[in-house]
A and B are shown apart, each in its own frame.
Chain A
Amino acid sequence: MVSKTIVLTAPNGMHARPAGELVKLAKGLDGKVTLATAVKSVSAASMLGILSLGLKSGAEITVSAEGGSEEANLAAIVDFIAAITE
């Protein structure tokens, strides 16, 4: 398993639209990816899970990838989250 901790820079936090796109991306990967905060950990393929984290701008998220091409999966999700601008 590989992980990386990042800070959410999206000005409006993790809202429904970017979360939906993130879920689509995660579903297309060949391994499991989870997002975790200090409080809990959820599957990146779960819209409800991601929204329930209540991620605001500035929140710390630990992204972990397990199975499949772990490094590539981790990079894909981390890059996607960093690129959310709305």
Chain B
Amino acid sequence: MRLLETSVRASEGIAVGRAFVVNRCNDSQPYEKGSLEQEHTRFEQALTLSHEQIEQLATDSEIFAAHLEIVDDPMLSDAVTAHIDEGLSAPEAVAVASEELGAMFEAIDDEYLAARATDVKDIFVRIAANLTGGVKNPFEGVEDGDIIVDSELFPSDMALLDFAKIRGFVTAEGSATSHVCIIARNLSVPAVVGLKGVLEQVKSGDKLIVDGSGGRVVIDPDMATLDEYKLQELNYKALQAEQQQSATAEIYRNGERIYVFANAGSVEDVERAMAAGADGIGLFRSEFLYMQSATEPTEQQQYEAYAAAARACDGKPLIIRTLDIGGDKAVPYLGFPKEDNPFLGWRAIRVSLECREMFCRQLRAILRASAEGDVRVMFPMITTLEELAEAKCVLEQCKAELTAEGVAYREDIKVGVMIETPAAVLIADILAANCDFFSIGTNDLVQYIMAADRANAKVANLYNPYSQAVQRAREMVISAADRAGIECGMCGELASDSQATELLLDMHLREYSVNIGAISKIKYQLNKNQNEE
């Protein structure tokens, strides 16, 4: 029994089956290089043949319609003929050109276009196959219950695969945004991608366990492991079926709509959350934009990410939290000073209000994206009314700029406060009169109220979201919101805990912003309570 693991989360679920290792090489005789002229002719013939094959496939597929343009592209044939002229054989020239054009696309600073590298490689694979003995269906011989194992799956493979037979996918290359992941998630087939070394470890016919939820593949499992996973698979399927029924449901309590939002840390998260049935995004962490590069993201880059997230929400609310960083998650270009107490230091809104120009760039990007959907803005770590007033003042200034520039935005964009400090709890009524919504951030709130660090084992027992002081804080915040007639939600771990759902419902909490994996679970729990009433 061997275990391979990756941190990439491709497609959830557990499958047990036989490995089908895809062989894309032709088993024909080795390629014999001819004269320069012959190599050119062979390439031209292979290109014509590829064009004809794709033309047939293109009649009922948009993917192949785009491929047809690529195979006819002068840039493609120019790249290959140039390498043949340098003395390479036709298949070698095709391989080199494929690498070059693929790399050119991968370098594009746009996730969608970078992913087109796969389409380009896909076409080169076809041309190469036509040069060396013809295209064969690499999935011939796939049987019911097989798990597909390959280095990488291509868009054109999707037309050749018989999904009814396939239990799971494992690939050595790829990321969570690869084509195969999107397909696998849509079909609820477990997949593990980016599993380096899998092709060296697995051969066709090996018994495999694919644990898409844990990013694990077990090769030749022993009986005990097999039994354990089979049980997990059954439980997962039963629960999934039950929860799926709740996922898209609209939930009401005493005639009031209860919303289950999701927490998201990237545009892909938003897409996943929407696919999982979220009623909106209750917490869009903007930090990812700031942490992933060596310099501050431009207004345009931020706008593109926020607008893409807003479009993915398709009219449902998208609450964007402004930058929430501090000494514990510093970014190099901001030059954070070393602090003895980063959690009581220069962080979140305190940073934004001081780095005013950076704050403006973020607010302008959020405002511009608000033209694309129900975008709302939320300020983290508010402790005084002055901070909120100043942040709102900067927002108004940005609105005035955009109006002057003739740029579209949502004029009545909702402004919210994240309630995560004891100070905010104590002045909740004052804050409520000055904003449109609250979101209770339970993780930091528990830590600040209880003065206990959850990572410190000696005091971890005090870090208790159910302790009386924290309960009372929640009641104060929710009732202050109710009295002011504004919405109040909760993001943070407690909202995702189905054991807390009943308690929170009793407190009149109507918005739960949960981890993506918990959407159907919490909806199921809310639905169950609704039905028991």
A and B are interacting partners: yes
Question: Given A17-B62, A48-B101, A54–B74 Cβ distance below 8 Å?
Answer: no
Best-buried of A11, A49, A56 by chain B (most CB within 10 Å): A56
Chain A, 45-59, CB within 8 A of any chain B CB? 45-49, 51-52, 54, 56-58
State whether the Cβ of B49 lies closer than 8 Å to any Cβ in chain A.
Answer: no
Partner of A49, one of B66, B73, B108, B116: B73
Measured CA separation A48–B113 after assembly (Å)? 11
**A23 at interface by CB-CB < 8 Å:** yes
Q: For residue B304, which residue of chain A has the nearest CB?
A: A56
Interface members, chain A 27-86 (any B CB < 8 Å): 42-43, 45-49, 51-52, 54, 56-58
Which residues of chain A are within 8 angstroms of B304 by Cβ–Cβ distance?
56-57
Interface residues in A, total, Cβ within 8 A: 23
Instruction: Check: A15 CB closer than 8 A to any chain B CB.
Output: yes
For B69, the chain A residues whose CB sits under 8 A away are 19-20, 23-24, 47
Selected contact of B70 from candidates A12, A43, A45, A47, CB within 8 Å: A47
A57 to B72: give the CA distance in the assembly, Å.
Answer: 27
Roughly how many angstroms separate A17 CA and B63 CA in the complex, as a whole number?
9
Question: A16 on the interface (CB 8 Å rule)?
Answer: yes
In whole angstroms, how far apart are the Cα atoms of A57 and B112 in the complex?
13
Q: Is the CB–CB distance between B307 and A11 below 8 Å?
A: yes
B104 CB–A CB distance under 8 Å: yes
User: Could you tell me the distance between the alpha carbons of A23 and B66 in the complex, rounded to whole angstroms?
Assistant: 11
Inter-chain contact A20/B74, CB cutoff 8 Å: no
B interface majority secondary structure: helix
Could you say which residues of chain A place their CB within 8 Å of the CB of B76? 48
> Is B73 within 8 A of A46, CB to CB?
yes
Q: Are A46 and B66 in contact (CB under 8 A)?
A: no
Query: Are B74 and A46 in contact, with the CB atoms below 8 A?
Result: yes
Tell whether, in the assembled complex, residue B66 and residue A52 are in contact, meaning their CB atoms are under 8 Å apart: no
Q: A52-B105, A54-B108 are in contact. Are A17 and B66 (CB under 8 A)?
A: yes
With a CB–CB cut-off of 8 A, which chain A residues contact B62? 17
Interface residue from A20, A42, A51 paired with B105 (Cβ < 8 Å): A51
B368 to chain A, nearest CB (A): 10
Contact flag A13-B110 (CB < 8 Å), given A45-B74, A48-B73, A48-B76: yes
**With A17-B62, A20-B65, A47-B66 in contact, is A52–B74 under 8 Å at CB?**
no
Q: Cβ of B7 < 8 Å from any Cβ of A?
A: no
> For residue A47, which residues in chain B have a CB less than 8 angstroms away from its CB?
66, 69-70, 72-73
Q: How long is the Cα–Cα vector from A51 to B123 in the complex, in angstroms? A: 15
A56 to B206, CA, bound (A): 46
A residues touching B (Cβ–Cβ < 8 Å)?
Answer: 11-13, 15-17, 19-20, 23-24, 42-43, 45-49, 51-52, 54, 56-58
Question: Can you give 23 contacting A-B residue pairs, CB < 8 Å?
Answer: A11-B307, A13-B110, A13-B113, A15-B112, A19-B69, A20-B66, A43-B74, A43-B75, A46-B75, A47-B73, A48-B70, A48-B75, A48-B76, A48-B101, A48-B120, A49-B73, A49-B75, A51-B113, A52-B104, A52-B108, A54-B110, A56-B110, A56-B300
The 3 closest A-B pairs by CB, nearest first: A54-B108, A47-B69, A48-B75
New contact pairs (12) apart from A11-B307, A13-B112, A57-B304, CB-CB < 8 Å: A12-B112, A13-B110, A16-B119, A17-B62, A19-B69, A43-B75, A46-B75, A47-B70, A47-B73, A48-B76, A52-B75, A52-B108
